A = this chain, B = another copy of it.
């Protein structure tokens, strides 16, 4: 861990966001990155408190993530799930044997009264991750997906139903009563802060829950440093996940301009993919063009550098 004050605050959900967070993590000095992570997907499963986005970012920064799945650990074993299925237990949400240790240890500490921010800080230390991972809030915020088939809990929609039901609206239950966690406030107060980066996670499913926490969007907007998003679309599609599908279902075109319009006055600028360079002048805010496909660490670092260079130019 480092005593350095954060110079960059990133907002992240799962896979895509975690990849850029890793680029920033590798590019910056230890302690310079603070990542505000969506906890709207968190849920209790099998009596365990599971934080899918926090875990994906943690595993990705610690370089023990499973690049094939986008969730869970590399070199995992699956004995637990196999026996659980034999016992007739619920096996629709896959938990690897090593992954399980994280959930058990976190749940144990939460039950003993330790706040999620503190548990997460200690987990980062255990994994040797010097960047700060900050749950957006200590309060329970739950993303509810309104669909043509009714209102679904997030994991029910996303994992069990494989994001198939047609989305009509999103709800972030508890968000108006929630407040940013103290560690989030502290990171935003860092005098060293140079930029706020909205990572290329799904705006509706992963970033909006963060922005819905009472006062958080305003705190980001009013901080007085450039706020830059990386567009989660490449050629009208997300690299992974249902962003394009959800936009269509909500009656939106899957374009960089629609993403920029969605974030509205939060952003000072947006980075779009080279594939979409024709949109550079049509998003209604300053844009930069870069390779946003982050298939390896070199590309993740290159994108992180491009994003910060762009932010400094604004």
Seen from chain A, the residues whose Cβ lies within 8 Å of a Cβ on chain B are 46-48, 73, 76-77, 79-84, 86-89, 96-102, 104-105, 107-108, 111, 122-123, 126
B104 in contact with A84 (CB, 8 Å): yes
How far is the CB of A125 from the nearest CB of chain B, in Å?
9
A-B contacts, 5 of them at CB < 8 A, read A83-B102, A84-B104, A87-B101, A88-B105, A89-B108
Taking A88-B126, A101-B89, A102-B87 as contacts, is the C-beta distance between A96 and B79 under 8 angstroms? yes
B80 in contact with A98 (CB, 8 Å): yes
Q: How many copies does the complex hold?
A: 2
B84 in contact with A97 (CB, 8 Å): no
Residue of B at shortest CB range from A126? Answer: B87
Q: Which B residues are CB-close (under 8 A) to A102?
A: 83, 87
Give bound CA distance, A178 to B193, whole Å.
61
Give bound CA distance, A48 to B88, whole Å.
18
B111 in contact with A82 (CB, 8 Å): no
How far is the CB of A108 from the nearest CB of chain B, in Å?
5
A interface secondary structure, majority: helix
Q: Which B residues are CB-close (under 8 A) to A89?
A: 101, 104-105, 108
B108 in contact with A46 (CB, 8 Å): yes
Q: Which B residues are CB-close (under 8 A) to A76?
A: 79
Give bound CA distance, A51 to B111, whole Å.
21
A87 in contact with B100 (CB, 8 Å): no
Give the top 6 A-B pairs by smallest Cβ distance, nearest first.
Answer: A79-B97, A83-B101, A97-B97, A84-B101, A83-B98, A89-B105
Q: Which B residues are CB-close (under 8 A) to A122?
A: 88
A100 in contact with B98 (CB, 8 Å): no
Q: Which B residues are CB-close (under 8 A) to A80?
A: 80, 97-98, 100-101, 104
Give bound CA distance, A79 to B83, whole Å.
14
Checking B46, B86, B108, B126 against A126 with a beta-carbon cut-off of 8 angstroms, the contacting residue is B86
Q: Which B residues are CB-close (under 8 A) to A123?
A: 87
Residue of B at shortest CB range from A85? Answer: B101
How far is the CB of A100 from the nearest CB of chain B, in Å?
5
Residue of B at shortest CB range from A90? Answer: B108
How far is the CB of A9 from the nearest CB of chain B, in Å?
26
Give bound CA distance, A96 to B107, whole Å.
19
Q: Which B residues are CB-close (under 8 A) to A101?
A: 79-84, 86-87, 89
How far is the CB of A119 from the nearest CB of chain B, in Å?
10
B97 in contact with A77 (CB, 8 Å): yes
Checking B73, B81, B104 against A46 with a beta-carbon cut-off of 8 angstroms, the contacting residue is B104
